[in-house]
Amino acid sequence: PVAVSLAGFTSGADAARIARDARRLARQAGRAVISEDLFAVALPPDDRPPEIQRRIAVHEAGHTVMQMLRGRIPRSVSIIGIGTLGGATITEGVIEESRAVDLDARIAVLLGGRAAEEIILGSVSGGALSDLAEASRLAYEMSGRLGLGDHLSVGGDSAGDSVDRAGIESQLRRIYGMALLRMVERKNDLVDLADLLLDRRVLGRQALTRFARERGLIQEDTPGAPGRMAG
């Protein structure tokens, strides 16, 4: 994540300065250099309006809290936007999930950003709409291709051939309702994680694991969840 976020911003001289400054921060903290040190000294200023930065932080915190409640720690979470308004929650590898309960949980993670925005900010953004579109696509795939819906037919020339649209709408509303409930239950954690993201702009796995354990969001450091959720 460090290399990706800094691509195009650093020359050889910049890299040497970043390394020196990161080592200085680590010495002051009495530990080895971690990715957050590199980000702290290397990232360009964020000139987006404060309200946009906060919305992105809340959105990514929602994804992340839902991941943690699932028993997974993301590899990193960032509110850095290069060329866009978005941040990103990056997870480890790809895990093939085929049980309905697992895919329901994956949809809940996708909708966690939208739920967080609604609970904390009272409205949702374009990023939340994008997540909803991806959640809808996954729900259609579950029902039509994987045969995990209430009907026995699978396949078809298109997703709409074999799925129960009303059932999928009901499923998405049910999962989103659960995500909203979790955001209400964990509102303090959500706000604190968003504030931490605003302060540090990027959080690595070590910092996220520490936060999750301190807040009782997770007991064990388990592998990351599938894919990459972008805000």
Give the separation between CA 132 and CA 152, rounded to whole angstroms.
25
Q: Which residues does the annotation mark as catalytic?
A: 60
| Residue 4 per-residue DSSP state | H
> CA-to-CA distance for 138 and 110, rounded, in angstroms?
10
81 and 143 in contact (C-beta within 8 Å)?
Answer: no
Please check whether residue 102 is in contact with residue 118, taking contact to mean a CB–CB distance below 8 angstroms: no
183 contacts 191 by C-beta, under 8 angstroms: no
